[in-house]
Structure 1
Amino acid sequence: MDIHWALIINFAIALLAIVNPIEKIPLWVEASKDEKFTFQWSLAALVILSCACILLFFLWLGKGLLLKLNIDLASFKIGGGLILLQFGFSMMKGTAVDVSQTLSQEKEKFSEKLLKRYQQIFIPIGVPVIAGPGAITTMIIYGHQSQNWLDGLLLSVTVILVLVLLLLTLVSGGLIVKVTGTLPLQLISRVFGLILIAISVQFMVEGLTTVFPAWVS
């Protein structure tokens, strides 16, 4: 059984550009400020685990959803490419993430406080910032393109590895900001936005080529 490494590598680059751990650092520092490291670690793990469940669901079952809705892959690539394109431009402008909710500062038990803080920040940090339209679109498109169960397994492993990287980045976010400041993080985020724009254009070109084959004949 062949492993389609080009598919796996392209998927990893696309997902890394969308999840963009560097971009999440200032957002996470703001959302988890004034909390102890144990609390920050538990909160980050809970958010990442929830996002992993959402993304893996669409990776494995997204193809079936398309079939149920009678949507072909070419059409989804065009629509999904437009979503990714918009997200890429928002990353270039630095407006991809926003937290406007006020977090409670009341003294509570660890588990109660953890659950309450999780409910406060999962939207928008979990959805739509991490497991948002761009990431879900990527799951469905690449899940549809996987040609055997081994490809699907490696795609799943890639999702987990990227989210583990995000988890480690979040819990060390405060230290990273102190060392680097915010400017280098913003520059890296812009680069990821440019990569995502290129990937989204490729998706749309592939979809339009399928829908309008005469364009390439």
Structure 2
Amino acid sequence: MTLPGWHDFLATFVPLFVAMDVIGVLPLYLALTEGLPVTRKHRIIWQALLTASGIGIGFVLVGQGVFRLLGVTVADFQIGGGLILLTFAMLDLLQSEKARRRPSPTMGVVPIGTPLIVGPAVLTTLVMLVDLHGYVITLISLLANLIISSSLLPALCSSNLSKIALPCSR
């Protein structure tokens, strides 16, 4: 058994980085947390990242087994995930502006932690990467992406970026 090298790491890290799209989540996060105190915003970030970590690591470890047990294929999961995202999008379109702006105590779990940070794209990517590269390198890449996210989100949110990104998210 050989240890994974940089090539394997990059082959797993890059697809996960693209699937997580932390920079793409930022305008949505800023819109959802507009008007909240900075301490609450940081608490939501950590709640989202802990949720994303738990779901991602759990999915790497037991995802394939659960899929086999239930007879679900990756394609089935992709379709189901797409339907969930479609439902969230439809609810977002149909809800009034006032109802949408109410901050929830679990906002960091749903919708930010999942499905925005670790959603169907990340979970499907994790299943495929475990098949191609194994558990160890996939977990290392997932953790590296989550560490980058835990550094990037608070840094971007504490800067003046909200003045630029927030008008774009409306």
Aligned residues: 155
CA deviations on 1:58-84 (whole Å, 9 max, x unpaired) are 11112212332346xxx63x5667789
| Matched AA of 1:137 | T
- 1: CA distance between counterparts of 2:80 and 2:106? 26
CA distance in 2, matches of 1:70, 1:83: 14
Answer whether contact 1:31 1:121 (CA < 8 A) is retained. no
Q: Is the 8 A contact 1:28 1:170 kept in 2?
A: no
Residue in 1 that maps onto 2:119: 132
- 1:170 matched to 2:153? The reply is yes
Root mean square deviation of aligned Cα: 3.4
Superposition TM-score, scaled by structure 1 size: 0.58
Which of the two has higher C-alpha Rg? 1
Contiguous gaps of at least 5 residues in structure 1: 87-94, 105-116, 187-217
Runs of 4 or more above 6 Å deviation: 80-84
Q: Which amino acid aligns with 1:171?
A: P
Q: What code does the residue aligned with 1:12 have?
A: F
SS at match of 1:103: coil
The 8 Å contact of residues 44 and 108 in structure 2, kept in 1 or not, is answered as: no
Deviation of residue 143 (structure 1)?
A: 1.8
Q: Which residue of 2 aligns with 1:103?
A: 102
Q: How much does 1:121 deviate?
A: 5.0
| Aligned counterparts, 1:1-217, within 5 A | 1-5=1-5, 6-70=7-71, 76=74, 101-104=100-103, 117-147=104-134, 152-174=135-157, 175=159, 177=161, 181-182=164-165
The one-letter code matched in structure 1 to 2:161 is V
* TM-aligned CA distance change 1:178 to 1:130, over 3 Å: closer
Q: Specify whether residues 9 and 27 from structure 1 end up closer, same or farther in structure 2 by C-alpha distance, changes over 3 A only.
A: same
Structure 2, unpaired ranges of 5+? 83-88
CA shift in 2, pair 1:50/1:143, >3 Å: same
Q: What TM-score does the superposition give when structure 2 sets the normalisation length?
A: 0.71
Asked whether the equivalents of residues 62 and 144 of structure 1 are also in contact (C-alpha less than 8 Å), the reply is no
User: Do the aligned residues in 2 keep the contact of 1:103 with 1:120 (CA within 8 Å)?
Assistant: no
